[in-house]
């Protein structure tokens, strides 16, 4: 099958989805090509979910400028798109004189980058803010916050889809060529032609850049392992607690998520394979040890899960990490926007990155506004977050709110149905899980997994053997035992 577009975006991570959503404000035929069966399966859902204040990056860098802008706009964006965001602040805890001096340096650097509301707090104030934190002093960033990174990504994607963007999922780009002034993109089963192409392929940015004819970027993959702790500890940590960062490593942190879980992590280790997400015992032991220095209130028995994420870092010939690169090379690759090395703070900066991309495109072409663009996305009410009265009203309005499917996280049938029928269509267990929080509690799906599989069968019309856990090739069932 052949498809024709004005703009095709390669990659349905938070950056690709932000670009799709921002571009849908113009009258353009837009498509997103994503190799996984859903958006946000790679780095965009495998991070800490912190909305950074913009103080940890080089003065004058794109990372700093776009992070500060992303931080400022996050509250409004979260309201418009209904994803969880809390401007809870963040604290960097120190013990030694050298660490004190380093934190003062971080404040100076942050202020030069445009970050605001940064200040040192003494031991007494540190313990008033977080009684359970260990440390002699700290840097408080009041503007920092936390988001649910997957829900932010899927909210951007769903809003883009509602505004007319086509999402081609399970669609891996294998070849790109330039023919008769257009880009021709080939996947396993389909061919796409487009006037504009955007490389937003995250860890695969170097590979796609080569396909576009832009060669020579050196990308290294820095993997971070995390430990997820039982949510019962979450209330003791009102904001992310970080150690003091070096120039190249943010340090490990004890972070609360918007769902109230605690994360310990990440480690930082260079790897060959950008999609090797296995976690290693030696890293988990390191995390337990390091986190104990700043927050000694857990045991290994509080661990409910581990995961990892991979940062694609663009480095020069000496191995020095470079800034984000967002470019159009008119001669080598006309009408192609190339995004390279979108590592941290790519989540915080995703919408400003999208706007930067569009500014570059608009320097070369006039785009007509889309008068029908609707920046708002409908809210899916979360039963567990409602008051008793609100819950009763929801059940009266829609009896599916009266049936609890996931007991640990109190997720109702109504929420699972709205996930399955979202504008992209959830077709995997993970797509339902990330959108609703089912299977994320203490039993990790022991109770509800089969009921959700049954709903995917009846509601999405999937044969049980077609139901994948997350990626293509991860089937839940291999066939029938009887009859």
Q: Which stretch binds ligand FAD (CB under 6 A): 37-45, 54-62, 188-196, 286-294?
A: 37-45
Binding-site size, ligand FAD (CB under 6 A): 40
Nearest approach in angstroms of CB 371 to ligand FAD is: 28
SS3 451: helix
> Does residue 145 interact with ligand FAD by CB under 6 A?
no
Q: What token pair was written down for 442? A: 């203490």
Q: Which of 52, 95, 168, 253 is catalytic?
A: 52
Are the C-beta atoms of residues 109 and 62 closer than 8 Å to each other?
no
Spatial separation of the C-alpha atoms in residues 378 and 463, rounded to whole Å: 30
Nearest approach in angstroms of CB 330 to ligand FAD is: 23
> Does residue 344 interact with ligand FAD by CB under 6 A?
yes
Nearest approach in angstroms of CB 219 to ligand FAD is: 12
Spatial separation of the C-alpha atoms in residues 447 and 208, rounded to whole Å: 42
Residue 14 or 229: the one with the smaller Cβ distance to ligand FAD is 14
Q: How many CB atoms lie within 10 A of CB 84?
A: 18
Spatial separation of the C-alpha atoms in residues 168 and 165, rounded to whole Å: 10
> Does residue 15 interact with ligand FAD by CB under 6 A?
yes
> Does residue 49 interact with ligand FAD by CB under 6 A?
yes
Q: Examine the residue annotation and report whether 52 is marked as an active-site residue of this protein.
A: yes
The secondary structure of 176-234 as a DSSP string is EEEETTEEEEE-SS-EEEEEEEEE--GGGHHHHHHHHT----EEEEEEEEEEEEPGGGG
Residue 52 or 82: the one with the smaller Cβ distance to ligand FAD is 52
> Does residue 261 interact with ligand FAD by CB under 6 A?
no
Q: Which stretch binds ligand FAD (CB under 6 A): 32-40, 190-198, 285-293, 407-415?
A: 32-40
Q: Which stretch binds ligand FAD (CB under 6 A): 76-84, 346-354, 424-432, 443-451?
A: 346-354
> Does residue 9 interact with ligand FAD by CB under 6 A?
no
> Does residue 38 interact with ligand FAD by CB under 6 A?
no
Q: Which stretch binds ligand FAD (CB under 6 A): 38-46, 158-166, 414-422, 441-449?
A: 38-46
> Does residue 283 interact with ligand FAD by CB under 6 A?
no
Q: Which of 170, 257, 335, 348 binds ligand FAD (CB under 6 A)?
A: 348
Q: Which residues contact 180 (CB under 8 A, 6 or more apart)?
A: none
Strands 404-406 and 85-86, bridge-based pairing: unpaired
> Does residue 266 interact with ligand FAD by CB under 6 A?
yes
> Does residue 26 interact with ligand FAD by CB under 6 A?
no
Fill in the DSSP letter of residue 163. T
Q: Which residue reads 């703070």 in tokens?
A: 345
Residue 311 or 416: the one with the smaller Cβ distance to ligand FAD is 311
Nearest approach in angstroms of CB 14 to ligand FAD is: 5
Residue 76 or 122: the one with the smaller Cβ distance to ligand FAD is 76
Q: Which of 34, 69, 99, 148 binds ligand FAD (CB under 6 A)?
A: 34
> Does residue 24 interact with ligand FAD by CB under 6 A?
no
Q: Tell me the three-class secondary structure of 348-379, residue by residue.
A: CCHHHHHHHHHHHHHCCCCCCECCCCCCCCCC
Spatial separation of the C-alpha atoms in residues 30 and 27, rounded to whole Å: 9
> Does residue 53 interact with ligand FAD by CB under 6 A?
no
Nearest approach in angstroms of CB 335 to ligand FAD is: 19
Q: Which of 20, 287, 310, 468 binds ligand FAD (CB under 6 A)?
A: 310
Are the C-beta atoms of residues 188 and 174 closer than 8 Å to each other?
yes
Q: Which residues contact 285 (CB under 8 A, 6 or more apart)?
A: none
* b/e sequence 58-67, b meaning 16+ C-beta within 10 Å: eeeebbbbbb
- Determine the number of helices (DSSP H) and then strands (DSSP E) in the chain: 12, 22
Are the C-beta atoms of residues 337 and 57 closer than 8 Å to each other?
no
> Does residue 89 interact with ligand FAD by CB under 6 A?
no
> Does residue 201 interact with ligand FAD by CB under 6 A?
yes
Cα distances (Å, whole numbers) of residue 460 to 270, 419, 420: 40, 11, 7
Q: Which of 5, 8, 12, 64 binds ligand FAD (CB under 6 A)?
A: 12
Q: Which of 173, 284, 405, 414 binds ligand FAD (CB under 6 A)?
A: 173
Q: What token pair was written down for 122? A: 């003494």
Query: What is the chain's length?
Result: 483
The secondary structure of 400-417 as a DSSP string is GGG-EEETTTTEEHHHHH
For ligand FAD, the binding residues (CB under 6 A) are: 10-16, 33-36, 41-44, 46-50, 52, 172-173, 200-204, 224, 266, 309-311, 342-348
Active-site residue set: 52
């Amino acid at each position: 099958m052949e498809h024709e577009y004005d703009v095709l975006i390669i990659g349905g991570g938070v950056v690709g989805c932000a670009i799709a959503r921002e571009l849908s404000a113009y009258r353009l035929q837009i498509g997103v090509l994503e190799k996984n069966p859903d958006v946000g399966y790679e780095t965009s859902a495998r991070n800490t979910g912190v909305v950074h204040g913009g103080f940890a990056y080089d003065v004058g860098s794109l990372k700093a400028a776009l992070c500060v802008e992303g931080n400022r706009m996050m509250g409004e964006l979260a309201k418009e798109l209904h994803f969880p965001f809390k401007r809870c602040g963040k604290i960097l805890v120190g013990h030694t004189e050298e660490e004190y001096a380093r934190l003062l340096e971080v404040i100076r650097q942050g202020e030069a980058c445009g970050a605001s509301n940064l200040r040192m707090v003494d031991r007494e104030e540190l313990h008033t803010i977080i009684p359970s934190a260990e440390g002699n002093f700290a840097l408080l960033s009041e503007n920092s916050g936390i988001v649910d990174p997957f829900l932010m990504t899927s909210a951007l994607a769903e809003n883009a889809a509602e505004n007319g963007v086509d999402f081609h999922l399970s669609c891996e780009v294998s070849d790109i060529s330039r023919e008769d002034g257009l880009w021709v993109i080939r996947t396993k089963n389909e061919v796409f032609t487009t006037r504009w192409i955007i490389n937003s392929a995250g860890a695969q940015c170097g590979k796609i850049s080569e396909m576009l004819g832009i060669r020579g970027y050196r990308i290294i993959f820095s993997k971070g392992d995390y430990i997820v702790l039982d949510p019962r500890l979450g209330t003791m940590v009102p904001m992310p607690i970080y150690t003091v960062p070096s120039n190249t490593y943010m340090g490990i942190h004890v972070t609360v998520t918007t769902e109230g879980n605690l994360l310990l992590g990440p480690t930082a280790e260079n790897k060959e394979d950008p999609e090797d997400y296995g976690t290693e015992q030696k890293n988990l032991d390191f995390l337990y040890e390091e986190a104990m220095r700043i927050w000694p209130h857990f045991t290994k028995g509080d661990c409910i899960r581990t995961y990892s994420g991979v940062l694609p870092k663009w480095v020069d010939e000496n191995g020095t990490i470079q800034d984000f690169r967002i470019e159009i090379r008119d001669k080598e690759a006309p009408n192609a926007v190339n995004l390279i090395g979108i590592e941290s703070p790519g989540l915080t900066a995703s919408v400003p990155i999208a706007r930067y991309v569009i500014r570059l495109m608009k320097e070369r072409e006039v785009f007509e506004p889309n008068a029908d663009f609707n920046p708002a996305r409908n809210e899916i009410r979360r039963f567990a977050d409602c008051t008793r009265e609100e819950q009763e009203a929801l059940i009266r309005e829609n009896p599916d709110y009266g049936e609890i499917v996931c007991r640990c996280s109190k997720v109702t049938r109504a929420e699972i149905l709205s996930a399955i029928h979202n504008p992209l269509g959830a077709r995997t267990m993970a797509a339902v899980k990330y959108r609703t929080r089912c299977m994320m509690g203490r039993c990790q799906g022991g109770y509800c997994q089969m009921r959700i599989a049954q709903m995917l069968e009846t509601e999405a019309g999937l044969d049980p053997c077609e139901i994948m856990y997350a990626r293509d090739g991860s089937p839940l069932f291999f066939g029938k035992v009887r009859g």
